[in-house]
Copies of this chain bind each other. A is one copy, B any other.
Amino acid sequence: MKIVTFGEIMLRLSTPGYERFVQSKSFDVNYGGGEANVAISLANYGMNAAFVSKIPDNDIGQSAINSLREFGVDTSMIVRGGERLGIYYLETGDSMRPSKVIYDRKYSSISEAEEDEFDWEKIFDGADWFHVSGITPALSLKTRKLTATALKEAKKRGVTTSFDLNFRSKLWTKAEAQACLIPLMQYVDYCIGNEEDAEACLGFKSGSDVNSGKLDKKGYEVMLANLCKEFGFKGAITSLRESISANDNGWSGMMVAEGKAYSSKHYDIRIVDRVGGGDSFAAGLIYGILNYKDYQKAIEYAVAASALKHTIPGDFNHVSVKEVETLMNGSGNGRVQR
């Protein structure tokens, strides 16, 4: 199974422990970005995952590529060049102090990449699945066009597609997002997003209050069913996060696919690192759909996989299929494995 993802990978500079930015004399170095994170997850599940991007031809860019190769992601279709690798600074929150992200990603190589730098024929050769998120088109007008091209080229070749809405208000407005994304939804098989994303990206409404910490399951089911109807998705999926504090979250997921609703187990998570949680959910979903051909199992896999991600530092989800399945089928009581 070959899965292609397309987007940006950034240098992530995070403060150690719970230090605030103004306290840190060193930054932990990781690399990450929505679609790169998805590719890593899938490679860790033993799948053939390729990440496509444009990355500067210097040692920082090379380090980003190495971080992908290290875990088996195919980086052979990454274009080298451009000015810089985007950066995001991260400090980890605690209790009522939220984690904080400062972006310095403007002018990145991928945001200034040109149409003719990518050979879609080669990229999609033998591909089974294509995944991209709403962050990629939000980067620049150029990536907006590239995302559209990629989705069309994928569909043209019969590749299954998934799209993670992932609205980022610092990158574009709702109006810009909707103008770009609504026309693209016809090329999307599986759409991932919560009610906020659906509203911002697709002009869709849902009554649930995401800050309340309570979940209205029925409301989500209706929302997802309506999303499928309106945009013709094969499936609409959302993770459901209950924010109790920066450390403690509830976590579950819901999916409506081919006319039926599927709801997962619920996990109480003590968070080590929640960045990349959504991406690991998307990757789990792709793995689940491709391998189980059973939507209930797919959503359980997606939720268990992404619950585990929250316990691992860095953007990448370093878990095996066996570990995810043990959690799906087990108690999650965390007894030592000797």
Contact = CB atoms under 8 A, between A and B. Distances in A.
A247 B270 contact: yes
Contacts of A19: 312-313
A211 B331 contact: yes
Given A72-B69, A270-B247, A335 B27 contact: no
B274 A245 contact: no
B314 A23 contact: yes
A336 B17 contact: no
A83 interface: yes
A332 interface: yes
How many copies of this protein are present in the complex? 6
A173 interface: no
Contacts of A311: 18, 93-97, 246
Nearest to A99: B336
B20 A267 contact: no
Interface stretch (A55-63, A198-206, A217-225): A55-63
A334 B245 contact: yes
A230 to B, nearest CB: 27
A320 to B, nearest CB: 9
A104 interface: yes
A71 B66 contact: yes
A332 B245 contact: yes
Interface in A246-267: 246-248, 267
Of A25, A107, A168, most buried by chain B (CB within 10 Å of CB) is: A25
A85 B104 CA distance: 9
A246 B270 CA distance: 10
Contacts of A25: 25, 28-29
A334 B213 CA distance: 11
Contacts of A329: none
A67 B23 CA distance: 10
A229 interface: no
Given A29-B26, A107-B106, A333-B213, A312 B98 contact: no
Contact of A275 (B269, B318, B336): B336
B22 A310 contact: no
Nearest to A83: B106
B96 A63 contact: no
A335 B248 CA distance: 10
Given A22-B318, A98-B337, 20 more contacts: A13-B13, A23-B312, A23-B313, A24-B29, A67-B70, A83-B106, A94-B311, A94-B334, A95-B311, A96-B308, A96-B311, A97-B311, A97-B327, A100-B336, A100-B337, A101-B337, A211-B331, A211-B335, A247-B270, A248-B270
Nearest 3 CB-CB pairings of A with B: A246-B334, A96-B332, A21-B59
